[in-house]
Amino acid sequence: MRCGNFSRSRGDLQAPVIFAFLEASATNRIPRSFFGSGSSAAAYHRGMNTITLPTDDEMYRALLRRDSEYDGLFFVAVKSTGIFCRPTCPAKKPLRRNVSFFASAADALAAGYRACKRCRPLDAAGLAPDWLSELMERVDDDPLRRWTSREIRALGVDPVRANRWFKAHHGLTFLGYLRCRRLAGALAQLSVGDDPTAVAVDAGYESLSGFRDAFQKWFGTTPGRIDNGGPVLTVNRLPTPLGPMVAAADDQHLYLLEFADRRMLETQAKRLEARLKCRFVPGGNPLIEQTHREITEYFSGDRRRFDVPIRRMGTPFQETVWELLSNIPYGKTTSYERIAAAAQNPQAQRAVGRANGDNRLAIIIPCHRVVRSDGRLGGYGGGLRRKQWLLRHERATLQEAAQGR
């Protein structure tokens, strides 16, 4: 199973709804303090030296494709410039004879290379850079504000550069992102039964018809047709060393946690929408922040079980499998066969594989800990390289703990 890039499909009426939210979800609601100071990258990669890299051929191919599935899995240093990058760096790709590969940013630094200013390999993947943080804080404080280029420049941000960053990370210009945030706020107001005309004015539109057009474009429905039944789920991107993840939660439960480039993400979001009659809005809430904190601790080797309350909502068979998965200890693996046997249906190995793939809570329900009985990795929705990384990360963390480091 291979993960494609996070592609959009415009054919389905509901698809733009989900994509608008997922693409527009801010990376910035989470306080930067979660990442500590400048040594965060080194902390993330603690224990990673024990991890073997993919082959040079595979890494060079990933580099040429700018394959996001490899983000955080290796770093590439260019001998002729003395700079090191992520595999996804937008800069022109170096000749093969000029590159060396490293398992961590810390290793590349230790070998005397400097971090690239374009792809910023020392930042957690997907995190908004320092130069954008003040602007993003202000956007979060007042999402309805309309920004002019002059006001953006007054904060020391070049609007062209901001657009480039937003295009790369959210697939939207900065103003497009703001429009989406405003509409998302409007959606939340409408779903608690506010009057559309008042909401349109609040969202900064001069007429109800202009608001309706924009609303229809983003959400695939008109503002009058929002029902009040389903919950509103807040969606946000969480940066991790393996690339951004997407989390969706209301005030009580986390419903979704998945790598942002996973092809199944769209399907999962649609299933959730159909099941819960929910709406997605970008932003932050306490459970999203808790998830971010816990997932960050997991990646730094400081957390083995998760406390964030989850809602799984599977069929009876999925529930059984997911419960069994949740009981596989940290750092251990089991086989599809054994899960099928434990689910009292030894013939059901394929169904176990499917239930694994349908898991909406990556890492928290550790479907990466199921491998084939011949010892091979089997599939993983987030990509096999990530599965391998997670298993090695957990083993390395256990080893370090056993050695008392």
Angstrom CA distances, 160 to 135, 165, 195, 201, stand at 14, 9, 37, 29
Q: Does 183 bind Zn ion (CB under 5 A)?
A: no
Which residue number, 85 or 214, has a Cβ lying nearer to Zn ion?
85
Report, in Å, the least distance between residue 30 CB and Zn ion: 24
The residue among 209, 186, 172 whose CA lies nearest residue 20 is 172
Q: Is 110 exposed, middle or buried (0-12, 13-18, 19+ CB in 10 A)?
A: exposed
Catalytic pick from 89, 180, 278, 367? Answer: 367
Report, in Å, the least distance between residue 116 CB and Zn ion: 3
Please name the residue that has the structure tokens 């996070």. Answer: 6
Which residue number, 99 or 310, has a Cβ lying nearer to Zn ion?
99
- Strand, helix or coil for residue 230: coil
Beta strands in 79-154 (DSSP E): 83-85, 99-102, 114-115
Report, in Å, the least distance between residue 73 CB and Zn ion: 15
Report, in Å, the least distance between residue 119 CB and Zn ion: 3
Instruction: Please identify, among the stretches 89-97, 152-160, 208-216, 284-292, the one whose residues bind Zn ion according to the rule CB under 5 A.
Output: 89-97
Report, in Å, the least distance between residue 388 CB and Zn ion: 24
Quick note: the x/- pattern for Zn ion over 356-385, rule CB under 5 A, is ------------------------------
Which residue number, 76 or 178, has a Cβ lying nearer to Zn ion?
76
Which residue number, 125 or 328, has a Cβ lying nearer to Zn ion?
125
Count of residues touching Zn ion (by CB under 5 A) = 6
Which residue number, 84 or 259, has a Cβ lying nearer to Zn ion?
84
Clarify whether 85 is annotated catalytic: yes
Q: Does 77 bind Zn ion (CB under 5 A)?
A: no
Task: Name the strand (E) or helix (H) holding 334.
Answer: strand 334-335
User: How far apart are alpha carbons 353 and 364 in whole angstroms?
Assistant: 17
Which residue number, 66 or 118, has a Cβ lying nearer to Zn ion?
118
Beta strands in 64-143 (DSSP E): 75-78, 83-85, 99-102, 114-115
Please name the residue that has the structure tokens 């999962």. Answer: 268
Clarify whether 3 is annotated catalytic: no
Instruction: Please identify, among the stretches 37-45, 88-96, 192-200, 202-210, the one whose residues bind Zn ion according to the rule CB under 5 A.
Output: 88-96
Q: Does 89 bind Zn ion (CB under 5 A)?
A: yes
Report, in Å, the least distance between residue 88 CB and Zn ion: 8
Residues 6+ away with beta carbon under 8 Å from 150: none
User: How far apart are alpha carbons 311 and 283 in whole angstroms?
Assistant: 20
Q: Does 119 bind Zn ion (CB under 5 A)?
A: yes
Report, in Å, the least distance between residue 118 CB and Zn ion: 5
Which residue number, 161 or 354, has a Cβ lying nearer to Zn ion?
161
Q: Does 85 bind Zn ion (CB under 5 A)?
A: yes
Residue 84 φ/ψ, nearest 5 degrees: -120, 155
Q: Does 118 bind Zn ion (CB under 5 A)?
A: yes
Angstrom CA distances, 143 to 182, 208, 221, 306, stand at 6, 19, 22, 32
Which residue number, 164 or 304, has a Cβ lying nearer to Zn ion?
164
Instruction: Please identify, among the stretches 80-88, 100-108, 148-156, 312-320, the one whose residues bind Zn ion according to the rule CB under 5 A.
Output: 80-88
Q: Does 22 bind Zn ion (CB under 5 A)?
A: no
- Strand, helix or coil for residue 82: coil
Q: Give all strands of the β-sheet with 83-85 in edge-to-edge order.
A: 99-102, 75-78, 83-85, 114-115
Catalytic pick from 3, 85, 89, 278? Answer: 85
Residues 6+ away with beta carbon under 8 Å from 335: 370, 371, 372, 373
Report, in Å, the least distance between residue 107 CB and Zn ion: 16
Quick note: the x/- pattern for Zn ion over 130-149, rule CB under 5 A, is --------------------
Among 24, 42, 73, 116, binds Zn ion (CB under 5 A): 116
Angle at alpha carbon of residue 145, lines to 198 and 137, rounded to 5°: 130
Q: Which two tokens stand for residue 172?
A: 């939207």
Q: Which residues bind Zn ion (CB under 5 A)?
A: 85, 89, 91, 116, 118-119
Active site residues: 85, 367
